[in-house]
A and B are shown apart, each in its own frame.
Chain A
Amino acid sequence: MSEFTIQADSVDVTQIMGQIRQRIREKRGADYTEQQIQELASVKLERFLDPRQVRSNLVEHYRKLESPGWLDPIEQAAPIPAPEAIAFNEESIYASSRGLMGTLLRFVRRLLNPLLRLFFNPDPIIFAMARQSEINTWTLHLLQRQTDLVERVNKQFEQVGKKFAAREDLDALNYEVLNNLVVEMTRLAVDMKNHKMRVESVAGRLDFDERRARALESVVQTRSTPPGGETDESEANGAPPSPTPTRRRRRRPRRRSGGPSAISSDGANTRADTTSSPDTGPDPQPAPPTDASSGSAGVDTAQSPGGTEPGTDTPAPEDTPSTARDHDDQ
Chain B
Amino acid sequence: MKVAVVVQRYGAELNGGAELHARYVAEHLARHVDVEVLTSCATDYITWKNELAPGIEMVHGVPVRRFPVSRVRDADDFGRRSELVFDERHSIASELAWLRSEGPTSPKLVSYLRRHRTAYDYCIFFSYRYYHAFHGIRVTGSRALLVPTAERDPALGLRIFQDSFRAVRAVMYNSFEERALINAVAGNEQIPGVVVGIGSEVNAQPEPSRFRQTSGIDGPTVVYVGRIDENKGCRELFEYFQRYTNVSRGLTLVLIGKAIMPIPDHPQIRHLGFVSDQEKFDAMAAADALIMPSYYESLSMVTLEAWALGRPVLANGRCDVLCGQCIRSNAGLYYESYEEFAETLHTIRANQPLREALGRNGRTYFNTHYTWPVIEQKYLDMLAQLEQEDTGNHQTTTTLPGWFARRRRDQPPARHVVDQLPTGPAVPTTGVA
In chain B, residues 138-195, which have Cβ atoms closer than 8 Å to a Cβ of chain A?
176, 194-195
**0/1 interface trace, chain B 350-379, chain A, CB 8 Å (1 if under):** 000010011011001100110000100110
CA distance A319 to B191 in the complex (A): 73
Task: Please determine whether A10 and B357 come into contact, CB atoms closer than 8 angstroms.
Answer: yes
B113 CB, min distance to chain A CBs, angstroms: 28
Task: Please determine whether B330 and A6 come into contact, CB atoms closer than 8 angstroms.
Answer: yes
**Any B CB within 8 A of the CB of A197:** no
Contacts of A8 in B (CB 8 A): 330, 361
Q: How many residues of B contact A (CB 8 A)?
A: 36
**Any A CB within 8 A of the CB of B419:** no
**Any A CB within 8 A of the CB of B343:** yes
**Any B CB within 8 A of the CB of A262:** no
**Any A CB within 8 A of the CB of B431:** yes
Which of these binds chain B: A19-27, A48-56, A180-188, A204-212?
Answer: A19-27
**Any B CB within 8 A of the CB of A239:** no
CA distance A6 to B428 in the complex (A): 10
Q: Which residue of B lies closest to A7 (CB)?
A: B364
Task: Please determine whether A2 and B332 come into contact, CB atoms closer than 8 angstroms.
Answer: no
B174 CB, min distance to chain A CBs, angstroms: 13
Task: Please determine whether B328 and A1 come into contact, CB atoms closer than 8 angstroms.
Answer: no
**Any B CB within 8 A of the CB of A39:** no
**Any B CB within 8 A of the CB of A17:** yes
**Any A CB within 8 A of the CB of B326:** yes
Q: Which secondary structure characterizes the binding site on chain B?
A: helix
A28 CB, min distance to chain B CBs, angstroms: 8
Task: Please determine whether A7 and B327 come into contact, CB atoms closer than 8 angstroms.
Answer: no
Q: How many A-B residue pairs have CB under 8 A?
A: 75
Task: Please determine whether B428 and A2 come into contact, CB atoms closer than 8 angstroms.
Answer: no
Task: Please determine whether A9 and B369 come into contact, CB atoms closer than 8 angstroms.
Answer: no
**Any B CB within 8 A of the CB of A261:** no
Q: Which residue of B lies closest to A16 (CB)?
A: B333
**Any A CB within 8 A of the CB of B300:** no
In chain B, residues 380-433, which have Cβ atoms closer than 8 Å to a Cβ of chain A?
381-382, 428, 431-433
A22 CB, min distance to chain B CBs, angstroms: 10
**Any B CB within 8 A of the CB of A75:** no
Q: Which residue of A lies closest to B338 (CB)?
A: A34
**Any A CB within 8 A of the CB of B339:** yes
Contacts of B176 in A (CB 8 A): 4
Task: Please determine whether B340 and A4 come into contact, CB atoms closer than 8 angstroms.
Answer: no
In chain B, residues 314-364, which have Cβ atoms closer than 8 Å to a Cβ of chain A?
326-334, 337, 339-340, 343-344, 347, 354, 357-358, 360-361, 364
Contacts of B433 in A (CB 8 A): 1-4
Task: Please determine whether A6 and B328 come into contact, CB atoms closer than 8 angstroms.
Answer: yes
Which residues of A approach B to under 8 Å, CB–CB? 1-14, 16-17, 20-21, 23-24, 27-28, 34
Contacts A/B (CB < 8 Å), 20 sampled: A2-B374, A2-B377, A2-B378, A2-B433, A3-B432, A4-B176, A4-B328, A4-B428, A4-B431, A4-B433, A6-B330, A7-B361, A7-B368, A9-B330, A9-B361, A11-B330, A11-B358, A13-B332, A23-B343, A24-B340
Given A7-B330, A16-B354; 10 other pairs, CB 8 A cutoff: A2-B368, A4-B428, A6-B329, A7-B365, A11-B354, A13-B333, A16-B333, A20-B343, A27-B339, A34-B337
